[in-house]
Structure 1
Amino acid sequence: MLWLKLIFCTPAKFRNFIRVDQNGVCVEYLRCKQSPGNSWVEVDEFCLNWLGKPLPGHACKTSLGRTALLPKRLPEGPDY
């Protein structure tokens, strides 16, 4: 009966994830079957050249977009 399960059940596919730092720079790459956590961004493909560089805007699979990866900036104005 195990062979029937092997024939009809498809294994989960591996997904690509990138972890970025506060500046939006790729610091780690991970390939696994499910999301490793909140600090990871899923990408369609991965290029080793991205490590140590800002994540390209087209790379995000989710709807986060490039601006969500950058730290929030305070509005500029007079110093109080």
Structure 2
Amino acid sequence: MRLLKSLFMPNARLRHYALLDLQGHCLAFKQCSLPPVGEGWVEVAEAHLGWMHRPLPASARVSPNVTHAQPRHALAS
């Protein structure tokens, strides 16, 4: 059954997130395909245990992908 699911369902890419407190210190890590619900979560390139209870390095953050809406052309009437 698992084989059938893997053939017809695409695998979601897992991403890493870090939970930061108000001072920017890392409190927790999470790996999931969708962004976690709640405040303080930022996407990071990897989960590094050396960052726990320390300020998260700026280089660790993943910059969000900015998508711009494509202009729509009016249909000729």
For 2:54, the aligned partner's letter is: K
Match of 1:51 in 2: 52
Q: Do 1:41 and 1:62's aligned partners in 2 also have CA atoms closer than 8 Å? A: no
Q: Count matched residues.
A: 61
Q: How does the TM-score come out when normalised to structure 1?
A: 0.65
Match of 2:21 in 1: 21
SS of corresponding position for 2:30? strand
Match of 1:30 in 2: 30
For 2:28, the aligned partner's letter is: E
Residue deviations 1:51-75 (CA, integer Å, cap 9, x gap): 0000001000025xxxxxxxxxxxx
Q: Tell me how large the CA RMSD over aligned residues is.
A: 1.8
For 2:45, the aligned partner's letter is: D
- Alignment gaps of 5+ in structure 2: 65-77
SS of corresponding position for 2:28? strand
Question: Quick one: percent identity of the two aligned structures?
Answer: 34
For 2:55, the aligned partner's letter is: P
**Runs of 4+ with >2 A deviation:** 5-10
For 2:59, the aligned partner's letter is: H
Distance 2:26 2:54 in 1: 6
Distance 1:12 1:56 in 2: 27
For 2:7, the aligned partner's letter is: I
